[in-house]
Amino acid sequence: MRVRHKVRERIRLNGRVISRDLFSHYFNEIWDMFERCEIADLENSPARFPSFLKYIVVMSYYVFIKERVDVAVIEVGLGGRYDCTNVVDHPALTAITHLGYDHCSILGYTIEEIANEKAGIMKEGVPVLTVNQHYTASYPVLEREAREKSTAVIRGIMTCQWPGRNHVIYRDKVAYHLDGAHTPVSIGLCSQWFKNCTADSRRKVLVVNTTRDRHLADFLDIIRKDITPDLIIFCPNIASNKYIVKDCEWPEDMKQAMIKRAHQNKDEWSETGIPALSFSSVEEGVAALEQTSPVSNQEQ
């Protein structure tokens, strides 16, 4: 099974990724509109174009209007009170998933502050759906906002399919367990899931990357409570060094900084006694993983 990731998958019609032709058509229409207008950024200087996420949000709304969809499901960015998707003033339903410590510089450094920002997605008279929260301190905040907005708080979402979350694919004799966990709670849930669905005889290789101000040691300590990797491979968010995609290539300084961080992570982790390798792209890391024969002779 080949997994491909493309910007078009962020906009779907009837569950299918928008076609290349439709994406290009609507992208260019939106681009032309921004070319003809000016908006002010935080420094009050002229700026025609929003950030990537905001551009995709505007474009998705435009696509849904033009394609005359009956129901639109909108996923937030960071989520909450000041999220760019929050311009929809009366949706049929809103939903708040698990809350954890992430994007703290924007959302807040306590779970109460984060919950307060996330609760900003609630709308007057609109039902809100949530789940059992790991951090119980979030409940009073969410319930207070719900009372103020006169919603009915429903706890649910029992089934969900989300590529890249608890996602297993197979290539040759390697089983890849993919997840985008990047908070302490989600890392803990991810490692428990991995432990429950892998055989004891399987050789476990962890391919990992961290970005921004996330602390690698904290995450790996959580993982080691459930599993002990036989090998850890560090690589940056660079797919391959063999080809260049002009429109989404990292600037060279950012690219070198990510590669440097992967090497630093390897040096830091090597002190634990567990073997660690670092590479300058995901492709190189995966190639090394498959060369290590990560499954035992007993497994198919």
Mean pLDDT of 89-116: 85
pLDDT digits (tens, 9 = 90+) for 245-273: 555 567 778 888 888 888 888 887 777 77
| Residue 136: closest CA among 80, 98, 90 | 98
Residue 21: HSE in the Cβ half-sphere, 13 Å Cα cutoff: 0
pLDDT digits (tens, 9 = 90+) for 150-173: 767 555 444 556 677 778 888 877
What the chain holds in terms of domains, given with CATH numbers, is 1-72 (no CATH), 74-160 (no CATH), 167-291 (3.90.190)
Residue 99 and residue 132: Cα distance in Å, rounded? Answer: 10
Mean pLDDT of 49-61: 87
Ranges assigned E (strand) in the chain = 12-13, 16-17, 39-40, 46-47, 94-96, 128-130, 153-155, 167-171, 174-178, 205-208, 231-234, 276-278
Per-residue pLDDT at 178: 84
Mean pLDDT of the chain: 80
Inter-helix orientation angle 138-149/111-118, to 10°: 30
Kindly tell me if the per-residue pLDDT of 221 is higher than 60.
Answer: yes
Looking at residue 123, what DSSP letter applies?
A: -
Kindly tell me if the per-residue pLDDT of 45 is higher than 70.
Answer: no
Per-residue pLDDT at 223: 83
Reported confidence tier of residue 38, pLDDT bands at 50, 70, 90:
low
Per-residue pLDDT at 298: 32
Whether the pTM exceeds 0.85: the reply is no
- Residue of higher predicted confidence among 298 and 133: 133
pLDDT digits (tens, 9 = 90+) for 181-205: 888 888 888 888 888 777 666 788 8
